[in-house]
Amino acid sequence: MKRRKFIQNTSLGSLGVVAGATALGCKSEVEKDTSMIASKEQKPAPMVIATWDVPNAVNKAWETLQENKSAIDAIEAGCRVEEADAKNQSVGYGGRPDRDGNVTLDACIMNSEGDYGSVVYLQGIKHPISVARKVMEETPHVLMAGAGAQQFALEQGFEKENLLTEQSKKEWEEWTKTSNYEPVINIENHDTIGMLAIDKDGNISGGCTTSGLAYKMAGRVGDSPIIGSGLFVDNEIGAATATGMGEEVLKTVGSFLIVELMRQGRSPQEACEEAVERIVTKNPNYKDFQVGYIAVNKNGETGAYSIHPGFVASEYRETGKNTYAPGSFLKNAE
Ligand code: SD4
């Protein structure tokens, strides 16, 4: 049995659980707030939102939705654009290496059925988002790492290539002169791509792909490929994704937190703000790093928020294509 079918057959959605409990006459202690759950008839129009100013990637995802394809197809197509772009030194080909000079990639993808696939510490494969999708669709697993993930990718027909461009190599060689590890807060508005999309059927999917923090320790994995941290999708409620200092997102399980806050009735904007504030209140050094979140709910409403100004979000929908600077904790606090 395919993994997806198995999951469908064995898990009850939370609504189903509540309905089932009622049918069996059980008393539920928790009143479920269904106000954030759109009815099946109320389909939001297709849309895509991404972290940072990445017009080529968002446009590709948007065009894919316009071809009536699914949100998961749009996510994969959009993320691949950025992975192939050597100028984006935070993602895929051309990404900045770790401190040993190796480009190591993290990516994950999650569909509207709650299926998830992820690769971490993948080397030599240009499109980790597509490998992550293969993990989701072709294996009984959700997360594959390092050499095993690469072997799986090769078996799936992906090619092994050198991802370290001359530019990234030159900058790394320069860095080794001091070896001062200090992540830059906003890297040229080109950064990890977190992308969320709603298709014509109202289904939500998301993806996140990155080369991680520049000059990280060998073996370091960030938030981006970790379910609930760099990305989370719940098709009943909404989705969220993160960019910035992965360690802080991991410690607060940021994307899951945002989706759960939306489940409790917060707007996407309120949920993003609370997730950032959670990091700020737990970390006295919060001024030293950036974290940014974007979120969308089942009705297609969006939110975005970061610690520092400088974060950018790109949102495309039928009513317009918008790249904007969301609010930030520090700007608001000053
Ligand atoms: C990481 N969150 O590996 C990623 C990096 C990133 O903006 O988003 N940079 O921690």
CATH assignment at residue 61: 3.60.20.30
Number of domains in the chain: 1
Domain that holds residue 171: 27-333
Q: What local confidence, expressed as pLDDT, does residue 74 receive?
A: 98
Q: Which of 23-27, 41-45, 69-73, 228-232 has the lowest mean pLDDT?
A: 23-27
Ligand 1: centre distance to CA 23 (Å): 45
In a domain, 98, yes or no: yes
pLDDT at 78 over 50: yes
For residues 212-227, average pLDDT: 94
pLDDT at 88 over 90: no
Any catalytic annotation for residue 192? Answer: yes
Ligand 1: centre distance to CA 301 (Å): 25
Q: What local confidence, expressed as pLDDT, does residue 249 receive?
A: 96
Query: If pLDDT is split at 50, 70 and 90, which confidence band does 183 have?
Result: low
Listed in sequence order, the residues at least 6 apart from 304 whose beta carbon sits closer than 8 Å to its beta carbon are: 49, 269, 272, 292, 293, 294, 295, 311, 313, 324, 326, 327
Ligand 1: centre distance to CA 246 (Å): 5
In a domain, 31, yes or no: yes
Q: What local confidence, expressed as pLDDT, does residue 67 receive?
A: 97
pLDDT tens, position by position, 22-63: 333 333 344 444 444 444 456 789 999 999 999 999 999 999
Q: What local confidence, expressed as pLDDT, does residue 26 receive?
A: 37
In a domain, 21, yes or no: no
In a domain, 270, yes or no: yes
Atom 5 of ligand 1, nearest CA residue:
212
State the closest ligand 1 atom to the C-alpha of 211, by its place in the atom list counted from 1. 3
- List pocket residues of ligand 1, CB cut-off 6 Å: 90, 191-192, 210, 212-213, 222-224, 243-246
In a domain, 50, yes or no: yes
pLDDT at 1 over 90: no
Q: What local confidence, expressed as pLDDT, does residue 21 receive?
A: 34
Atom 10 of ligand 1, nearest CA residue:
246
Atom 6 of ligand 1, nearest CA residue:
244
Q: Which of 64, 192, 210, 252 is catalytic?
A: 192
State the closest ligand 1 atom to the C-alpha of 216, by its place in the atom list counted from 1. 3
Average pLDDT, rounded, for the chain: 87
Residue type, 48: V
Q: What local confidence, expressed as pLDDT, does residue 202 receive?
A: 97
Question: Smallest Cα–Cα separation from 60: which of 26, 35, 39, 85?
Answer: 85
Ligand 1: centre distance to CA 200 (Å): 30
For residues 280-302, average pLDDT: 95
In a domain, 141, yes or no: yes
For residues 231-249, average pLDDT: 97
In a domain, 7, yes or no: no
